[in-house]
Amino acid sequence: MQNWEPLPLDHRFLFRRVDPQEEKEKLLQFFREGYGRNFSWEEYQWFKLSHPYSHSRVYLAQEAETERFAAVMCMIPFQYRYGGSLCEVSLAHSAATHPDFRRLGLFAKINRLLREGEAQLGTPYGLGFPNPAAVPGHLQAGWEIAGEMVFWEKRVFRNRPTPAVPLSRFDERFDSFYLEATQRFDLVHVKDHQILNWRYRAAPHRNYQIFISDREVLQGFAVLKKYQDRQVLKSHLIDFLAVTESAAENLVAAAENSAKGSALLNLWIPAGSPYEQWFSRLGFYPTEERVPIILRSHLHRPLPNFHSPWLTLGDNDVF
């Protein structure tokens, strides 16, 4: 693995890329302290080391004298249709600064190393979904706000028959289906069956329900997650793709049937998505809740324009 020279910005810290396998114990402990959460080894192994295409690429600020990990940001590659063509886009995730090293400007310095590293690896663009409080730091580090995700929800469910059926595992049919079904979008994660199984079947401590539009003819799929939010049971469409509005209606019917007992059924829809009209007609309505979509060019190129995005919670940072 290639490392880069420490940036001559602050002699107190070294800035380098690290192997998440070789330094897994120190990294996992850093994430526990940085996030104040007890992340499990299973979660770390799944998201950082078991991705079908690549380990997470970990960019690190390390205190030179003590060798303590001070700040980390990770990138992981996926295939996207972006600006009309297929290309590799790296998802920003697991950005954290240890409480002992905050307000030292380490995030911006890591992003300089990250941009150089991703460019050398041939990845032209980065994508992220930061919480609103973190947006100013990302903008200072060279990211741009490209759009926003809008929270849509539905509170009245119908219980009705549907040809949509449960799916236990994604197969090779989804490779060609995804290429066809995502043609209408110009910013979309083009997943194959390996990525889908990794994301929704291999993820530890998660229980997703998967539906396909019809057992015989694949026209769409949906992934449903149930969760407790302040003692309120909710159901969330974490991923969704359909080639016809009738397939979308069948999948939503399956989700509603499964969501019985939940207070609401919800999902994130990027502003301007062609799916807005479909979900509106299916009884969903937009709320005031928003989260930004940020992008950056690792190669100092202008960002392509896009007008018909489709991003889901399943594309977002999970650790």
Q: Is 36 left (phi over 0), alpha (psi -120 to 50) or beta?
A: left
The whole-number pLDDT of residue 7 equals 46
Reported as a pLDDT band with limits 50, 70 and 90, residue 193 is: very high
List all residues 6 or more positions away from 93 whose beta carbon is below 8 Å from its beta carbon. 47, 56, 74, 75, 76, 128, 317, 318, 319
In the predicted structure, residue 167 carries a pLDDT above the cut 50 = yes
- Residue whose C-alpha is closest to residue 285's, from 185, 104, 150, 175: 150
Question: Once rounded to an integer, what is the mean pLDDT over residues 175-181?
Answer: 94
User: Do the beta carbons of residue 189 and residue 241 sit within 8 Å?
Assistant: no
Band of residue 217 on the pLDDT scale cut at 50, 70, 90: confident
pLDDT tier at 93, thresholds 50, 70, 90: very high
User: Other C-beta atoms within 10 Å of 150: how many?
Assistant: 19
Enumerate domains of the chain plus CATH numbers.
13-128 (3.40.630.30), 149-315 (3.40.630.30)
**CA atoms in the 13 A half-sphere facing the CB of 120:** 12
Note the pLDDT of residue 215. Answer: 83
Spatial distance between the Cα atoms of 54 and 195, rounded to a whole number of angstroms: 11
pLDDT-based confidence at residue 131 (cuts at 50, 70, 90): confident
Encoded tokens for 173: 């049919």
* Surface-to-core class of residue 116, CB atoms within 10 Å of its CB (0-12 exposed, 13-18 middle, 19+ buried): middle
pLDDT at 195 over 70: yes
Q: What is the pTM of this model?
A: 0.92
